[in-house]
């Protein structure tokens, strides 16, 4: 399949010496769900910020690598430029405007979406607030309430709905499961799967929930300390011994997660 997003040899440096991202490479094929997973501090959010144009900043810069979207370089583009190309990001935090109602949040997204859709009309599936309410009935029931009153799952729905109004070709979701109860987390993952299957939406799912992400992703990449240490089809990753032991807490020695292991050595890189 055609690669919609290609990241090759990405390197990001904090300050003058700390390499937060060290030669990261991965691809997201059009129409697929791809997982970029790892523990807190692995470099996931920094990678997203590089892709979406929020780097460089005063203290962080991209020092090497290539970023390509739909066949063109996006290295050095600003966030509004990547958004116009069709990259939408649901951030880890500050997902919605708390002081606005649910409807007002979506009205704002409609206005922004009109500008973004100038060159992306073919990818527009959602044009109005009512389109989003049809997809998310819980939001319709709370349309006139301030967003600050929403549950974690409803906030995630609102953030995803707002992004959909911008007609994205690629939806990047950062920490979709953060702070959510297991049942709600499953509902959010199932929603993303449904958007992918019924609408062909391409999704890059970035999360610490390795098992959850790989349950819906076609392909997965595991980050550790700014490097991709494992990658492959999701079913093969879930069956891999190191992944089971260090990320899923399974193994011959009983329950033993990555956080509980003081020292370990990778037996091989996964391909």
CA atoms of 264 and 251, how far apart (whole Å): 14
According to the model, what pLDDT value does residue 47 have? 96
Three-state secondary structure along the chain? CCEEEEEEEEEEEECCCEEEEEEEEEEEECCCEEEEECCCCCCHHHHHHHHHCCCCCCCEEEEEEEEEECCEECCCCCHHHHHHHCEEEECCCCCCCCCCEHHHHHHHHHHHHHHHHHHCHHHCCCCCHHHHHHHCHHHHHCCCCEHHHCCHHHHHHHHHHHHHCCCCCEEEEECCCCCCCHHHHHHHHHHHHHHHHHHCCEEEEEECCHHHHHCCCCEEEEEECCEEEEEEEHHHHHHCHHHHHHCCCCCCCCCCCHHHCCCCCCCCCCC
CA atoms of 255 and 259, how far apart (whole Å): 11
Q: Could you tell me the two tokens for 234? A: 């999701």
Neighbours of 85 (CB within 10 A): 18
CA atoms of 50 and 249, how far apart (whole Å): 31
According to the model, what pLDDT value does residue 88 have? 95
According to the model, what pLDDT value does residue 129 have? 95
Per-residue pLDDT of the chain (271 residues; tens, 9 = 90+): 689 999 999 999 998 778 899 999 999 999 999 999 999 999 999 999 999 999 988 789 999 999 999 999 999 999 999 999 999 999 888 889 999 999 999 999 999 888 776 655 555 677 799 999 999 999 999 999 999 999 999 999 999 999 999 999 999 999 888 778 889 889 999 999 999 999 999 999 999 999 999 999 999 999 999 999 999 999 999 999 999 998 888 866 555 544 544 334 444 444 4
According to the model, what pLDDT value does residue 119 have? 53
Superfamily of domain 33-53+78-260: P-loop containing nucleotide triphosphate hydrolases (3.40.50.300)
Report pLDDT digits (tens) over 148-191: 999 999 999 999 999 999 999 999 999 888 778 889 889 999 99
């Amino acid at each position: 399949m055609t690669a919609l997003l290609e990241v090759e040899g990405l390197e990001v440096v904090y300050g003058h010496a700390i390499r937060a991202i060290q030669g990261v490479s991965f691809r997201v094929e059009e129409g697929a769900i791809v997982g970029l997973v790892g523990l807190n501090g692995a470099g996931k959010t920094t990678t997203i910020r590089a892709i979406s144009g929020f780097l460089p900043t005063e203290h962080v810069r991209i020092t090497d690598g290539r970023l390509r979207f739909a066949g063109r370089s996006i290295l050095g583009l600003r966030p509004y430029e990547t958004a116009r190309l069709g990259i939408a990001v649901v951030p880890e935090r500050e997902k919605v405007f708390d002081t606005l109602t649910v409807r007002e949040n979506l009205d704002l997204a409609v206005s922004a979406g009109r500008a973004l859709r100038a060159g992306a009309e073919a990818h527009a599936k959602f044009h109005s607030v009512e389109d989003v309410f049809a997809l998310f009935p819980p939001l319709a029931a709370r349309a006139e309430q301030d967003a600050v009153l929403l549950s974690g799952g409803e906030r995630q729905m609102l953030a995803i709905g707002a992004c959909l109004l911008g007609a994205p070709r690629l939806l990047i979701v950062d920490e979709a499961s953060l702070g959510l109860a297991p049942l709600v987390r499953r509902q959010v993952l199932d929603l993303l799967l449904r958007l992918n299957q019924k609408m062909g939406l391409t999704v890059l799912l970035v999360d610490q929930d390795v098992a959850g992400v790989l349950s819906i992703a076609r392909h997965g990449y595991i980050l550790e300390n700014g490097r991709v240490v494992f990658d492959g089809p999701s079913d093969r990753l879930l069956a891999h011994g190191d992944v089971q032991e260090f990320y899923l807490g399974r193994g011959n020695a009983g329950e033993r997660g990555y956080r509980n292991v003081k020292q370990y050595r990778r037996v091989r890189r996964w391909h």
